[in-house]
Structure 1
Amino acid sequence: MGMRSTTKSGLDRLPWWLLAFIGLAVLFLWLLTEDGDYAQILNTLKKGVGITLFLTFVAFTLASLLGLVVALGRGAKSRLIREIATFYTEIVRGVPVLVLLFYIAFVGAPQLVVLYNWTLGPLIDADLIEKLRVRDLSMMWRAILALTIGYSAFIAEVFRAGIESVDEGQVEAARSLGLTRWQTFRLVVWPQALKNILPPLGNDFVAMIKDSALVSVLGVQDITQLGKIYSASTFQFFETYNVVAFLYLIMTVSLSLLVRALEKRLKRGQEHKT
């Protein structure tokens, strides 16, 4: 009886949506083995999976670093630094990601090349380095730059909220013990803030994977772009976009479950300490 009730309670705790997703996954695997068209589509799109993940990981890493700098800037003593960081955050958050992609790709990137050549002009004239051309900056790196800028503003707010969640009394106690501002941040503030930062940061990573599909408008060979090309050439729109949607679902659902597991683990760790 005890074993049966334990099993029943375990099934009750299992989310129905996850069972439905597992059912879709089983159906998808069956289609891959039974339908040659689906297998061919997956084989065509698998290169795009690597590009999507590479683009997302690089852009998210850079966005996190830039977001941390902006968040620290918003908490700086200097009003000028605070205003600059706030201006950056509000302006970038007010621009849609798709518009930002076009702006960085066709306006920002060329101007960046001009600035590079102007700054390093003496070295270029001395033939120590080569002059950079706009076409040398690939669309993939323009997309990475755009996603980095776009998400850094949102991640900065995540970092700022996490840092401000630490009790001010602990900061004052650390300073009274003779710790510098950097030591206080590294040893006292950051370890506590990280527990509050990781879950929303994981959610932003999942959101970036979905928004990475927008880079297809620049011709980057991600999952969406390869699916668009394949479906246009074979007219298998139904099958192709089924595979495209499911590939994104696999990545986002897996990462969402990982974020939830991490959040529960951090919560259990906090309860254990208390």
Structure 2
Amino acid sequence: MIDAILESPYINSLPVLFEGLKLTVLITFSGLFLGFILGAIVGIGRLSKKKLVRSISIVYIEVVRGTPILVQVLFIYYGLTEDLIGLSINSLTAAIIAITINAAAYIAEIVRGAVYSIEKGQGEAGRSLGLTENDTMRYIIWPQAFKRMIPPLGNQFVISLKDTSLFSVIAVGELLYMGKQYYNVTYEIFETLLMVSILYLLITIPTSVYLRRLERKLDV
């Protein structure tokens, strides 16, 4: 019985799928880390009193959110040729850039909404204490706003994780791509795609459960 389970097509596909899962997680975490930095800058820019900064931030958010991530990664990988930009972008780099740019647009709105939700009296209190506008943001508003960002940032992680499956079109060896490579050889399509789905769920479901608990704990 045990030997039959171990030799089943479901189990046999796991070594290959785990290799893809590693790359999926790498792309997701790298893209979201860089995306948070860029998104925070754009989000703060969205709130800027300077019209030019605010306008650039709005245009960035609307353009990125208004175009599919699949188009974005194809544009980065195939559109930004070496002749055009002076360097070659491999598929993995293109995938990380795409996640970064795409996630940043959504994170910018998360940042903007969280900062905007802090009572105006908090900023006024900071300035009454002699803090500059930047110091007020850094020491008073941002810590409170960041607490409110955590649940939606977790949701963005789940979305970006699933978005990596689109990068198989540029031959990034993520989870779905490795699954396709495996069933193209074994013809075990149902079994392989079922295991691909299970591996995604093993990440997304615990993450979603944890986020719901965290949201109740933070009371946000």
Is there any run of 5+ residues in structure 1 with no aligned partner, and where?
1-29, 115-132
Q: Match of 1:207?
A: 159
Distance in 1 between the 2:149 and 2:61 partners? 18
Distance in 2 between the 1:147 and 1:110 partners? 21
User: Which deviates more from structure 2 when the two are superposed, residues 252-261 or residues 200-209?
Assistant: 252-261
Q: Match of 1:166?
A: 118
Preserved contact between residue 175 and residue 181 of structure 1 (Cα < 8 Å): yes
Q: Match of 1:151?
A: 103
Aligned CA distance change for structure 1 residues 153 and 65 (closer, same or farther; 3 Å): same
TM-score, length of structure 2 as denominator length? 0.94
Matched to 1:179, the amino acid is L
Using the TM superposition, give the Cα deviation of residue 46 of structure 1 relative to its aligned residue in structure 2, in angstroms: 1.0
1:58 is aligned to 2:34: no
Distance in 2 between the 1:78 and 1:216 partners? 41
- Kindly report the root-mean-square deviation, in angstroms, between the aligned alpha carbons of the 2 structures: 1.8
Q: Summarize the alignment of residues 211-226 of structure 1 with structure 2, pairs less than 5 Å apart.
A: 211-226=163-178
Distance in 2 between the 1:67 and 1:79 partners? 18
Using the TM superposition, give the Cα deviation of residue 248 of structure 1 relative to its aligned residue in structure 2, in angstroms: 0.5
Distance in 1 between the 2:175 and 2:169 partners? 12
1:68 to 40, 47, 62: 40
**C-alpha deviations, 1:117-140, integer Å up to 9, x for none?**
xxxxxxxxxxxxxxxx42xx3210
Q: Summarize the alignment of residues 35-50 of structure 1 with structure 2, pairs less than 5 Å apart.
A: 35-50=7-22
Give the structure with higher Rg (CA).
Answer: 1
1:178 to 124, 130, 155: 130
Q: Report the identity percentage.
A: 39
TM-score, length of structure 1 as denominator length? 0.76
Using the TM superposition, give the Cα deviation of residue 112 of structure 1 relative to its aligned residue in structure 2, in angstroms: 6.9
Preserved contact between residue 179 and residue 196 of structure 2 (Cα < 8 Å): yes
Distance in 1 between the 2:109 and 2:48 partners? 14
**C-alpha deviations, 1:81-135, integer Å up to 9, x for none?**
1111111111111001111110111113647732xxxxxxxxxxxxxxxxxx42x
The higher relative CO (CA closer than 8 Å, separation ≥ 6) is in: 2
1:255 is aligned to 2:207: yes
Q: Match of 2:50?
A: 78
Using the TM superposition, give the Cα deviation of residue 35 of structure 1 relative to its aligned residue in structure 2, in angstroms: 4.7
Q: Summarize the alignment of residues 106-125 of structure 1 with structure 2, pairs less than 5 Å apart.
A: 106-108=78-80, 110=82, 113-114=85-86
Q: Summarize the alignment of residues 132-147 of structure 1 with structure 2, pairs less than 5 Å apart.
A: 133-134=87-88, 137-147=89-99
Equivalent residues, number: 219
Preserved contact between residue 77 and residue 90 of structure 2 (Cα < 8 Å): no
Preserved contact between residue 6 and residue 12 of structure 2 (Cα < 8 Å): no
Aligned CA distance change for structure 1 residues 162 and 111 (closer, same or farther; 3 Å): farther
